[in-house]
Amino acid sequence: MSVDNSILSVDDVSVHFTDSSGFLGLFGERQTVRAVDGISLDIGENDVVTLIGESGCGKSTLGKTIIGAQEPTHGSITYRGQDIWEAKNSRDPDIPFSEIRRSLQIIHQDPGSALNPNQRILTSLMLPLKKWNPNLGEEERRKRIYALLERVGLTPAEDFVERFPHQLSGGEKQRVVLVRSLLLNPDVILADEAISALDVSLRVEMMDLMLELQDLFNTSYVFISHDLSNARYIAEKSGGRIAVMYLGRIVEVGPIEQVIGDPQHPYTQALKWATPNLYEGDEDDDLPIRKIDIPDPTNRPSGCHFHPRCPKAREVCKTNDPGAFEDENGHAARCFRADDTHEYWDSPSIVDD
Q: How many residues does the chain have?
A: 353
Footprint on residues 46-105 left by another protein (CB under 8 A): 54-55
Among the listed residues 80, 102, 163, 226, the single contact to another protein using CB under 8 A: 226
Q: Is 276 in the site for another protein (CB under 8 A)?
A: yes
User: In degrees to the nearest 10, what's the CA dihedral of 141, 113, 181, 228?
Assistant: -150
Q: Which stretch binds another protein (CB under 8 A): 79-87, 184-192, 229-237, 330-338?
A: 229-237
Q: Is the peptide bond before 165 cis (omega within 30 degrees of 0)?
A: no
Among the listed residues 274, 298, 311, 342, the single contact to another protein using CB under 8 A: 274
Q: Which stretch binds another protein (CB under 8 A): 64-72, 99-107, 271-279, 322-330?
A: 271-279
Total binding residues for another protein by CB under 8 A?
Answer: 40
Q: Which is nearer to another protein, 10 or 251 (CB)?
A: 251
Q: Is 22 in the site for another protein (CB under 8 A)?
A: no
- The C-alpha atoms of residue 248 and residue 251 are separated, in whole angstroms, by 9
Sheet holding 241-246, edge to edge: 104-107, 188-192, 220-225, 48-52, 241-246, 249-255, 332-333, 325-326
**C-beta of residue 194 within 8 angstroms of C-beta of residue 141:** no
Residue type, 148: L
Among the listed residues 141, 173, 175, 232, the single contact to another protein using CB under 8 A: 232
Q: Is 204 in the site for another protein (CB under 8 A)?
A: yes
Q: Which is nearer to another protein, 33 or 184 (CB)?
A: 33
Q: Which residues bind another protein (CB under 8 A)?
A: 54-55, 169, 199-205, 226-230, 232-233, 236-237, 260, 270-281, 285-287, 289, 291-294
